[in-house]
């Protein structure tokens, strides 16, 4: 497995997104645990979660607890695994998503996440999504306080625009280590954020890097160039997508979601797929 860096810490070039294992349509617990174990077997050392990855109102942190259980039950060494979680996005249980960026809420949410994960300090904590009812600086200020107080080891933000990235970097005193935005062949509007992260040396973590749960299955049909390059290499189109994203900048660390061992095993292999300069240009232009 190739490695990249988040805040000076080496992680696998491909991470695992935990959301599909805890929201609507989720698999049974056994298959989820097997999926996480398959990721670890493949060399994945970055697992992304959030306290909002759950389905019912009374199971906040379902995915965090699932990941903690999978790490405890794994037969190998997990000391090098970085678990990244997020706070500030909520699911009231009716299928909707809401936001709460109040500093007092974020601080309590982070402590609750640490307890569920079974850690003294969260490896990477990310402000999940801007709350229009709370000044962005106030929310990021809470993340700074969590960092200063040792509740979290590294700080990131998610679903941010370039101005918010710069603001967060300033508030955190240059300690912003990651930005997690949606990015895929289908959704490329985060290119300015990716470019800014590359400029600043901040890790860029594409979420839904294969186009999202409901669209990944149509990837080869929607994006023929990726299917064509995949055929040339004898690999899946999903590997080509992830390899293309890795080729865009050395700060990119895709976190494809998975709910089957075979899916994350295939995705992890993308770290070894070498695309030519011409192929990268062709895919970028597609």
**Which residues belong to the active site?**
53
CA distances from 66 to 76, 104, 191, 263 (A): 17, 26, 32, 18
Torsion angle of C-alpha atoms 164, 46, 209, 172, degrees rounded to 10: 0
Query: Quick one: three-class SS letters along the chain?
Result: CCEEEECCEEEECCCEECHHHCCCCCCCHHHHHHHHHHHHHCCCCEEECCCCCCCCCCCCCHHHHHHHHHHHHCCCCCCCCEEEEEECEECCCCCCCEECCCHHHHHHHHHHHHHHHCCCCECEEEECCCCCCCCHHHHHHHHHHHHHCCCECCEEEECCCHHHHHHHHHHCCCCEEEEEEECCCCCCCCHHHHHHHHHHCCEEEEECCCCCCCCHHHHHHHCHHHHHHHHHHCCCHHHHHHHHHHHHCCCECCCCECCCHHHHHHHHHHHHCCCCHHHHHHHHHC
- Could you tell me which residues are beta bridge partners of residue 98? 90
Q: CA angle 38-68-16, nearest 5°?
A: 40
């Amino acid at each position: 497995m190739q490695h990249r860096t988040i805040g000076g810490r080496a992680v696998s070039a491909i991470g695992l997104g935990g959301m599909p294992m805890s929201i609507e349509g989720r698999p049974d617990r056994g298959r989820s645990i097997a999926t996480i174990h398959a990721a670890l077997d493949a060399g994945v050392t970055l697992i992304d979660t959030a306290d909002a990855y759950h389905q019912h109102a009374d199971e906040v942190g379902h995915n965090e607890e699932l990941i903690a259980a999978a790490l405890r039950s794994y037969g190998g060494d997990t000391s090098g695994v970085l678990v990244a979680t997020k706070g500030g996005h909520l699911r009231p249980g009716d299928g909707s998503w809401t936001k709460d960026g109040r500093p007092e809420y974020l601080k309590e949410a982070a402590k609750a996440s640490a307890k569920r994960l079974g850690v003294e300090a969260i490896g990477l904590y990310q402000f999940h999504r801007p709350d229009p009812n709370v000044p962005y600086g106030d929310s990021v200020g809470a993340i700074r306080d969590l960092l200063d107080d040792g509740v979290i080891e590294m700080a990131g933000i998610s679903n941010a625009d370039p101005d918010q990235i710069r603001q967060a970097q300033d508030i955190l005193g240059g300690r912003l280590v990651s930005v997690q935005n949606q990015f895929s062949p289908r959704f490329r509007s985060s290119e300015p954020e990716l470019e800014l992260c590359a400029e600043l040396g901040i890790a860029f973590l594409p979420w839904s890097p294969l186009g999202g749960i409901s669209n990944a299955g149509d990837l080869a049909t929607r994006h023929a160039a990726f299917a064509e390059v995949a055929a040339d290499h004898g690999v899946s189109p999903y590997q080509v997508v992830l390899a293309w994203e890795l080729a865009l900048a050395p700060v990119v660390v895709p976190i494809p979601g998975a709910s089957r061992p075979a899916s994350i095993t295939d995705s992890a292999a993308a770290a070894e797929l070498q695309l030519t300069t011409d192929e990268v240009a062709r895919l970028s232009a597609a």
